[in-house]
Chain A
Amino acid sequence: MQRVGVFVCWCGSNIAATVDVEKVAEVLGQEPGVVFSTHYQYMCSQSGQELIQNAIREHSLTGVVVCSCSPRMHENTFRKTCEKAGLNPYMVEIANIREQCSWIHKNKEEATQKAVILGRAAIAKVHLNAPLTAGTSPVKKRALVIGGGIAGIQTALDIADAGFEVDIVEKEPTIGGKMTQIDKTFPTLDCAACILTPKMVDAAQNEKIKIYSYSEVQSVKGFVGNFRVTIKKKARYVDETKCTGCGLCTEKCPQKKVPNAFNLGLDQRRAIYIPFAQAVPKIATIDADYCTMLKTGKCGVCSKVCTAGAIDYKQTDRFIEEEYGAIVVATGFNPIKLDQYDEFAYSQSPDVVTSLEFERLMNAAGPTGGTLLRPSDGTHPKTIVFVQCVGSRCDDSKGKSYCSKICCMYTAKHAMLCREKYPDTDVYVFYIDVRTPGKNFDEFYRRAVEEYGVHYVKGMVGKVVPENGKLKVQASDLLGNRQLHIDADMVVLAAAIEPDKSARPLATMLTASMDTNDFFTEAHPKLRPVESPTAGIFLSGACQGPKDIPETVAQASAAAAKVIGLLAKDSLICNPCTAAPDELMCNGCSSCEKVCPYGAITYIDKEFRGPNRTTLVRRVAQVNPAVCQGCGACTVACPSGAMDLKGFSNKQIMAEVDAICR
């Protein structure tokens, strides 16, 4: 039998005004095993805590019940209080008589009665409590960043700056991500490449940072502090250690008809390529889908011209195993496919482009050398129509339900740049709402209207019909209560953005949760925005939700700070309230393994002593306490009742229920 002490808190008048605390203390004092019972004005105060500590010493208490606020508020406080007085912190139970009693009841008599019942339940539970000791697990002082866009680069730079090793895994041949394709950045209009490429070089030259380009994460095992990751280095058929990035092969390759993915297919490149001049690492890659040598075995031009002897047609995918303490997801976004919105004639005319394509058409390093020309006939467009919210803010059946957030600003930027470079163009922007919250954002949009004379029209484009080299745009002007018919030369669609397709399988590997749109979910939408609910997984950039560059960089640094906080520790204190199987009852069915969201359960074959000195081998569940988060899913799934949660065992919960029903 435990020696239980009961401490009823008034919480000033929060509890005492509705609950007769004196009576609660008196009644609970009669409960079996209770050797001390009292009440006090503020149990969480210094003197309240001393009162508990003195009682533990004087009455040799082995269990403590505090009737007070929610355990979310002060459970930790009282655990520490008791620990200082020599009691195991897990011998403390909280009866929540504030949020679940005094605050929601008016009748003092009823509330008092309920407080007594809640107290009884806690006493019944504490009788079955066992001292628990939190274990520790070591931390591998190295971080993995998945995705080498601006988010991944910033996170890696910040982690490296704190002195920790970081690896970046990027699926493309170069790091830099979407920002490398962007021409200028709002609202300052500084050139994206000018501010990004130095960061790319910093990352490459930092001795703490290792870049795995043209690589993907193959599998993730382990848990916070001890992830074991397999990285697949895809065959690029070029020896990275030898290639100097001279680019001769990319000029001599006879296969010239490869759609240039970097320019979104607006022009063509060779089968061996370096995505762009400032690529990091600057190493050529052979596109196996188009290379004649790899397909037919006849060519080998690149190999002949390469003075470094870097071409290796026999290269295969390689797998690298590495250990990490923390993983940052920075997988980014992509514009959606526009097949569903053919009223805008995207598939019918090359002059209907997405905003990202427009970005390339305006870029000095783009297919037109920075001169805005129509993809169809290479002439200067005189009338340009921008359509906002294409696929954003839709009913679920028609597109993405969310606002893509960045389109209002980049469209204002495009419209402004058009008018600045080519004052003879007429620029229309059709909008539903102009959403420009952000530092200097609304001023930027107003400048587009007031100084640059962009025609902002409240309304939407209904259809675009290509006709005799023009694009007939039919649209509404809701404020003017009229329908507009514009003969446009180009139409630019602000396509919604969605998480990269690689995010979903990655989330499964990491057991990190996602929302219905495949954006990663935060541990708390306001207070823990850069952490995944899965310990040791952090979120950076647009993989968590649509974001512009300043926000992405801010979040990337925030994620880095969290990673540094984790890696700075030598070991992690685990939650001792973890699941544990009764191996004799376990029937090896794997139900628990399947429901465990953290991958904490594995099965092993274990020898058991049978009758008559025999041994038998049985398959039983094993819980890794360092990974288990104590969610209890396995205890519910287990058909034989073998799985139990320490500190919340089935017996304890039934004892509470019995006490309530008594």
Chain B
Amino acid sequence: MMDTIKRISGVNPRKCMKCGKCTASCPAFDEMEFHPHQFVDMVENGRIDQLMQSRGIDFCLSCFACVERCPRNVEPAKLIEAVRLAVVRQQGGDHLRPEAIPHLLDENLPQQAITAAFRKYRK
């Protein structure tokens, strides 16, 4: 999984020198249980599962402040994006149950959206 994240993101977490400038720059700091420098450390040490289960990853705004300011060009935001992709792509996740669909429907929702979401989130 670690290799997958590294491949998707193109980030080499070993370049990180643990300065914390990413975390210092992050506008969504308060919303996240893990912070940008921690993403990097967790990916480097293979703690991907914990990261994938974290609700915090959805609060990353992808503002790229961390990418812009990182003195070592580590690009933490790209790691988070890769983890989010990994969550979406995981098999058997059942993010969308057929029985939940009727509750989600409203008359303005195009049917296409349900089909697409079903294809994407039920694997």
The interface of chain A, by Cβ under 8 A from chain B, is 343, 389, 393-395, 397-399, 432, 458-463, 474-476, 478, 481, 483
Cross-chain contact of B69 among A343, A397, A432, A481 (Cβ < 8 A): A343
Are A389 and B25 interface neighbours, CB within 8 A?
no
Are A389 and B19 interface neighbours, CB within 8 A?
yes
| 5 closest residue pairs by CB, A with B | A462-B24, A462-B25, A476-B24, A460-B21, A476-B23
Are A432 and B19 interface neighbours, CB within 8 A?
yes
With contact pairs A394-B72, A398-B72 given, residues A476 and B30 touching in the complex (Cβ less than 8 Å):
no
A490 CB → nearest B CB, Å: 18
User: In this complex, what residue of A is CB-closest to B74?
Assistant: A395
Are B72 and A474 interface neighbours, CB within 8 A?
no
Cross-chain contact of B25 among A343, A393, A398, A481 (Cβ < 8 A): A343
With contact pairs A460-B19, A478-B18 given, residues A389 and B24 touching in the complex (Cβ less than 8 Å):
no
Contacting A at CB under 8 A, from B53-80, are 65, 69-73
Are A395 and B26 interface neighbours, CB within 8 A?
no
Are A460 and B72 interface neighbours, CB within 8 A?
no
User: In this complex, what residue of B is CB-closest to A473?
Assistant: B24
A459 CB → nearest B CB, Å: 4
Q: How far is the CA of A478 from the CA of B29 in the complex (A)?
A: 12
Are B21 and A393 interface neighbours, CB within 8 A?
no
Q: How far is the CA of A474 from the CA of B28 in the complex (A)?
A: 12
User: In this complex, what residue of B is CB-closest to A461?
Assistant: B24
Using Cβ atoms and an 8 Å threshold, which residues of chain A touch B30? 483
What are 18 A-B contacts with C-beta separation under 8 Å?
A343-B25, A343-B69, A389-B19, A394-B72, A397-B73, A398-B70, A460-B19, A460-B20, A462-B21, A462-B23, A462-B24, A462-B26, A463-B24, A463-B25, A476-B21, A476-B35, A478-B23, A481-B35
User: In this complex, what residue of A is CB-closest to B36?
Assistant: A476
Are A460 and B73 interface neighbours, CB within 8 A?
no
Using Cβ atoms and an 8 Å threshold, which residues of chain A touch B20? 432, 458-460, 476, 478
Cross-chain contact of B71 among A395, A475, A481 (Cβ < 8 A): A395
Using Cβ atoms and an 8 Å threshold, which residues of chain A touch B14? none
Are A483 and B18 interface neighbours, CB within 8 A?
no
Are A395 and B23 interface neighbours, CB within 8 A?
no
Contacting A at CB under 8 A, from B10-62, are 15, 17-26, 29-30, 35, 37
Q: How far is the CA of A331 from the CA of B71 in the complex (A)?
A: 28
Are B71 and A461 interface neighbours, CB within 8 A?
no
User: In this complex, what residue of B is CB-closest to A477?
Assistant: B20
Q: How far is the CA of A399 from the CA of B69 in the complex (A)?
A: 12
Size category of the B interface is 20 to 34
Q: How far is the CA of A343 from the CA of B66 in the complex (A)?
A: 12
Cross-chain contact of A483 among B19, B23, B71 (Cβ < 8 A): B23
A205 CB → nearest B CB, Å: 47
A124 CB → nearest B CB, Å: 51
Which of B21, B35, B72: most chain A Cβ within 10 A? B21
Q: How far is the CA of A506 from the CA of B90 in the complex (A)?
A: 61
Q: How far is the CA of A397 from the CA of B74 in the complex (A)?
A: 12
B39 CB → nearest A CB, Å: 13
Are B71 and A393 interface neighbours, CB within 8 A?
yes
Q: How far is the CA of A461 from the CA of B29 in the complex (A)?
A: 14
Q: How far is the CA of A341 from the CA of B30 in the complex (A)?
A: 25
Q: How far is the CA of A476 from the CA of B20 in the complex (A)?
A: 6
Q: How far is the CA of A403 from the CA of B92 in the complex (A)?
A: 49
Using Cβ atoms and an 8 Å threshold, which residues of chain B touch A393? 17, 19, 71-72
Q: How far is the CA of A147 from the CA of B58 in the complex (A)?
A: 57
Cross-chain contact of B23 among A397, A432, A459 (Cβ < 8 A): A459
Are B17 and A432 interface neighbours, CB within 8 A?
yes
Q: How far is the CA of A397 from the CA of B68 in the complex (A)?
A: 11
User: In this complex, what residue of B is CB-closest to A432?
Assistant: B19
Q: How far is the CA of A462 from the CA of B66 in the complex (A)?
A: 9
Q: How far is the CA of A394 from the CA of B72 in the complex (A)?
A: 5
Q: How far is the CA of A461 from the CA of B26 in the complex (A)?
A: 11
Are B15 and A395 interface neighbours, CB within 8 A?
yes
B53 CB → nearest A CB, Å: 19
Which of B25, B70, B71: most chain A Cβ within 10 A? B71
With contact pairs A474-B24, A476-B20, A476-B23 given, residues A462 and B65 touching in the complex (Cβ less than 8 Å):
yes
Using Cβ atoms and an 8 Å threshold, which residues of chain B touch A461? 21, 24
B49 CB → nearest A CB, Å: 20
Using Cβ atoms and an 8 Å threshold, which residues of chain B touch A460? 19-21, 24
Are A395 and B21 interface neighbours, CB within 8 A?
no
Q: How far is the CA of A432 from the CA of B16 in the complex (A)?
A: 11
A170 CB → nearest B CB, Å: 35
A484 CB → nearest B CB, Å: 8
Using Cβ atoms and an 8 Å threshold, which residues of chain A touch B69? 343, 462-463
A362 CB → nearest B CB, Å: 27
Are A389 and B26 interface neighbours, CB within 8 A?
no
Q: How far is the CA of A331 from the CA of B108 in the complex (A)?
A: 74
Using Cβ atoms and an 8 Å threshold, which residues of chain A touch B73? 395, 397-398
With contact pairs A462-B65, A476-B37 given, residues A394 and B23 touching in the complex (Cβ less than 8 Å):
no
B76 CB → nearest A CB, Å: 12
Q: How far is the CA of A432 from the CA of B18 in the complex (A)?
A: 7
A343 CB → nearest B CB, Å: 6
Using Cβ atoms and an 8 Å threshold, which residues of chain B touch A389? 19, 71
